[in-house]
Structure 1
Amino acid sequence: MDNNVVKKCNPALVTNLCQKMNTKLCGTNNRLLSQEKPAIFLKPVIIIGADVPHPAPGDKHRPSIAACVGSLDPIPSSFHTSVRVQMEDLTATSRVEIIRDLKDFMKDLLKAFYRATKHKPERIIFYRDGVSEGQFMEVRNHEVSAIRLACQEMSPNETYEPALTFTVVQKRHHTRFMPASDRDGVCKCRNVPPGTTVDSVVTHPLNFNFILCSHFGIQGTSKPSHYYIVWDDSNFSADDLQKLSFYLCYTYAQCARSVSIPAPVYYAHLAAYRAKSHVISKVDVSSSSSDSSGGSADLITTSQYVQAVKVLDNLQTAMYFV
């Protein structure tokens, strides 16, 4: 760290460092107030975030990486992390957004939840990042089925079918909102205030969806997130899911304000990109070794990729990626 930065001792920098350190030491930075907490948290519920980032187009040496995080407490502030590489994507003609090992992901997260709470979750709230509208049917058919199968295999001697709510969160769109009057806007950019929700007129006419601007825009025009509910066993009302999604944006450990997407989705994104850095390091080291010996970088084995992204047991609940 630059000496000038240390000498200035900027309070914002110190706060950020303390938040990261406390999170990695399994501490709690933010929590929902009891009187504001949605009723869904009155019973055991696991909140899951998932993401699958891909390497650059044309890169056939690095696999796609899938990451899932699952809550371990009713706050929720503590999360279990699971990361895997998708080796099948290396031989495929195009990258797919499907999480191929979602059943194993879910079993890992459900076991961690039971170890932490001594309860099986009665509801699963699943937030999925990075899915385009054209892939909704494929994701619903494959991933919802994988979650169901994981629950069945967790309790082979009894029926275990927790209510599942599967929501896709999209950030890549061109929808923006502005207040009807400048005096209704917030910050110097006069953005719409956090919590602004639109679920008609500009949303999809058939699917259960809404657009939520959950964060306080500091610079430029705030970019809202688009939520599509592709599966819902609990028959939540629009208000229930909108409130839950908005409140989860306030539980992100690295920020004292709300963020633009629910914290579990943010964590899955960070975990996946940390693993991506590990894979890039593994490929670069192997490429250097191959070049010096006249070999090929394509000889990196599946086990090497798996080892590169493997999360140590004592770090799976430490949120090492923040």
Structure 2
Amino acid sequence: MSVVTKVVLQMNAKLGGELWSIAIPMKGVMYIGIDTYHDSGSARSVGGFVASMNDLCTRYYSKTTWQASKQELISQLEVCTDEALQQYFKLNNAFPSRVFIFRDGVGDGQLLAVKEMELTSIKRALAKLPQKPQLIFVVVTKRIQQRFFLKQGGRLSNPTPGTVVDTKVTSDALFDFFLVPQSVGQGTVTPTHYNVLEFSTNIQPDHLQQIAFKLCHIYFNWTGTIRVPAVCQYAHKLAFLVGNHLNKDPSPQLANYLYYL
């Protein structure tokens, strides 16, 4: 029965159903996830772009881009952002007042290149709006060496989900933090590293950390929390499906569905 239930839930999500949602008091926000997939047997790499279309984070718009094989940076983000903003306006009759972007799949050595190329492209798209929204751009990294432990009396244990570390072991030059998004049954839990490259907003850093943790709860393929914000995982799944199986852009009629789950 549990297997059948999960299959039906996945079918429902693919067809546009809203399985569950999160409560974020902030309204008029678009959350964007970006990731890249490299297929060793293909001459091209594919970038996945997924943007939320409502405050409950249950509706999404997706688009794919193509670049040279093994190229991590995406050159067409201005076009993707333009189309997502127009779709958001079509559904909400207003443009978002804040845009949160979570970029997955780039290492620390590429942060400057991401800032100069991808962040600049997105800023050009936002500058076209009647009123420029506040912008937060975050690079999400899963493959890290850092581990954290909670000291309780004379023993060590894994920190609880939602634990944030933003002092001592973080960079002095950058705004970054570590977030423990989930619990594990055995072994040591691996935190996720967030590097904030743009923080043009009036919200507090604590709010960004809370939002990042909340977004780990709304990936419709898993009933618990995942290691990255859901928009990142959706972008990864989209890029993987298109790059590994379709090898061409999906139909525009599917752009508002989570068909890639």
Q: Which band: TM-score by shorter chain?
A: over 0.9
Whether 2:240 is the aligned partner of 1:313: answer no
Change (3 A) 1:255 1:151: same
Distance (whole Å) between structure 1 residues aligned to residue 91 and residue 154 of structure 2: 47
Distance (whole Å) between structure 1 residues aligned to residue 198 and residue 90 of structure 2: 27
Q: Residues 136 and 199 of structure 2 are in contact (CA less than 8 Å); yes or no, is this contact kept in structure 1?
A: yes
Matched to 1:146, the amino acid is S
Q: Residues 213 and 222 of structure 1 are in contact (CA less than 8 Å); yes or no, is this contact kept in structure 2?
A: yes
Task: Give aligned-pair identity as a percent.
Answer: 29
Distance (whole Å) between structure 2 residues aligned to residue 20 and residue 182 of structure 1: 43
Q: Secondary structure at the match of 2:232?
A: helix
Partner of 1:292: none
Q: Give CA deviations for 1:111-140 in whole Å, capped at 9, x if unaligned.
A: 211122111111110000012112111111
Partner of 1:263: 230
Match of 2:122 among 141, 147, 157: 147
Distance (whole Å) between structure 2 residues aligned to residue 137 and residue 254 of structure 1: 33
Q: Which has the larger radius of gyration?
A: 1
The number of equivalent residue pairs is 261
Change (3 A) 1:235 1:139: farther
Matched to 2:57, the amino acid is P
Distance (whole Å) between structure 1 residues aligned to residue 6 and residue 185 of structure 2: 17
Q: How far 1:209 sits from its partner (Å)?
A: 0.6
Match of 1:68 among 45, 49, 52: 49
Match of 2:108 among 107, 125, 133: 133
Partner of 2:245: 278
Change (3 A) 1:183 1:19: farther
Q: Secondary structure at the match of 2:190?
A: coil
- Identify the structure with the greater strand proportion: 2
218-227 vs 166-175, which moves further: 218-227
Partner of 2:78: 103
Match of 2:5 among 2, 7, 15: 15
Extract unaligned runs of 5+ from structure 1: 1-8, 280-307
Whether 2:212 is the aligned partner of 1:245: answer yes
Partner of 2:145: 174
Partner of 1:77: 58
Whether 2:134 is the aligned partner of 1:163: answer yes
Matched to 1:126, the amino acid is I
Distance (whole Å) between structure 1 residues aligned to residue 241 and residue 154 of structure 2: 41
Q: How far 1:218 sits from its partner (Å)?
A: 3.0
Q: Residues 181 and 228 of structure 2 are in contact (CA less than 8 Å); yes or no, is this contact kept in structure 1?
A: yes
Q: Give CA deviations for 1:282-317 in whole Å, capped at 9, x if unaligned.
A: xxxxxxxxxxxxxxxxxxxxxxxxxx3312122111
Q: Residues 65 and 74 of structure 2 are in contact (CA less than 8 Å); yes or no, is this contact kept in structure 1?
A: no
